[in-house]
Structure 1
Amino acid sequence: MTLTVERIRADVADALGEDPADVPLDENLVDYGLDSIRIMTLLEGWRREYGVEAGFADLAARPEIGIWAPLLGAGS
């Protein structure tokens, strides 16, 4: 199974208690309430489910779904 941009968006929305449609692809997710603990939790889930190899520092440096997608090996 391949991780997709929409799956990333849905998982982030779930972590934030938001509707996926309300989570932008190109804005800083920290501004929406995504903290380091949530990023780590999401990353661990994606590692387990999809074999993602990106590190926490990679995601924390640029917390945007559009930036994360290629780092996480996501297809469209």
Structure 2
Amino acid sequence: DEPLDDENLIDYGLDSVRMMGLAARWRKVHGDIDFVMLAKNPTIDAWWALLSRGVE
């Protein structure tokens, strides 16, 4: 099963350790991204909105 863009990724097995790793990697592009931001709304839609800021 693949998650829909608005589904909680934790329901699909995403854990906090992996989320911390993603936050660390994405912080290199967007310095303000942190674990808390990802954990508040762990969906593809929410994360895409964070990562696509300023991209045109």
Given candidates 14, 27, 30, the residue that maps to 1:51 is 30
Question: How far did 1:51 drift?
Answer: 3.4
Query: TM-score by structure 2 length?
Result: 0.73
CA displacement at 1:26 relative to structure 2? 1.0
* Number of residue pairs matched by the alignment: 53
Q: What are the Cα deviations for residues 12-66 of structure 1, in whole angstroms up to 9, with x where unaligned?
A: xxxxxx8xxx242110000000011000111111223x23422211110110010
* Aligned-CA RMSD value: 2.0
Identity of aligned residues (%): 43
Off by >4 Å, runs of 4+ in structure 1: none
- Which structure shows the higher helix fraction? 1
Unaligned 5+ residue runs, structure 1? 1-17
